[in-house]
Amino acid sequence: MSLRDKIGQMVICGFHGTSMDGDLRRLIADYKIGGVIYFARNVESPAQVARLTAELQDTAAKSGTPPLWISIDQEGGMVARITEGVALMPGGMAIAAAGSEEDAYLAAFASGRELAAMGINLNYAPVLDVNNNPDNPVIGVRSFGESPEKVARFGERTLRGFQDAGVAATAKHFPGHGDTDVDSHLDLPTVPHDRKRMEEVELKPFREAVRAGVDAIMSAHIYFPALESGKLPVTLSKAALTGLLREELGFEGIITTDCMEMNAIAEHFGTVEASVMAVEAGADLVLVSHRLDRQLGAIGAIEHAVVDGRLSEERIDQSVRRLLAMKLRRGVLGAGKPPESLPGGLAPQDEQGIAAALPPVKNEAGAGLPGMEDPAAGSPGAPDLSLLGNAEHREIARRISERSVTLVRHGLPMLPLGGERTLVVTIAPGAVTQADESVAAGPGLGSALQRHGLDCREIVVPPAEVTGRLDSLVREAESGGYGHLVVGTYNAQFDAAQISLVKSLIALGKPLAVAALRNPYDLLAFPEVQVYTGAYESRPLAMDSLAKALLGLIPFRGRLPVSLGGLHPAGWGIEL
Does residue 544 carry a catalytic annotation? no
Give the list of residues 6+ apart from residue 7 with CB closer than 8 angstroms, or none. 299, 302, 303, 306, 316
The answer to whether the beta carbons of residues 547 and 450 sit under 8 Å apart is no
- Exposed, middle or buried: residue 207 (CB in 10 Å: 0-12, 13-18, 19+)? middle
Asked whether 388 and 86 are in contact (CB, 8 A), the reply is yes
Strands 168-174 and 35-38: unpaired
CA gap 10, 548 in Å, rounded: 48
Q: Which of 328, 327, 380 is nearest to 54 (CA)?
A: 380
How far is it, in rounded angstroms, from Cα 549 to Cα 513? 13
Give φ, ψ of 565 to 5 degrees.
80, 175
Do residues 232 and 190 make contact, with C-beta atoms less than 8 angstroms apart?
A: no
Residues contacting residue 272 through CB under 8 Å, at least 6 positions apart: 294, 297, 298, 300, 301
- The secondary element (H helix, E strand) that includes residue 103 is helix 101-117
Active site residue 5: no
| Alpha-carbon distance values, 31 to 28, 42, 312, 430 (Å) | 6, 21, 20, 36
Catalytic residue among 73, 258, 495, 522: 258
**Alpha-carbon gap, residue 428 to 405, rounded angstroms:** 19
Q: Which of 185, 221, 290, 568 is catalytic?
A: 185
As a whole number of angstroms, the distance between CA 426 and CA 489 comes to 7
> Which residues belong to the active site?
185, 258
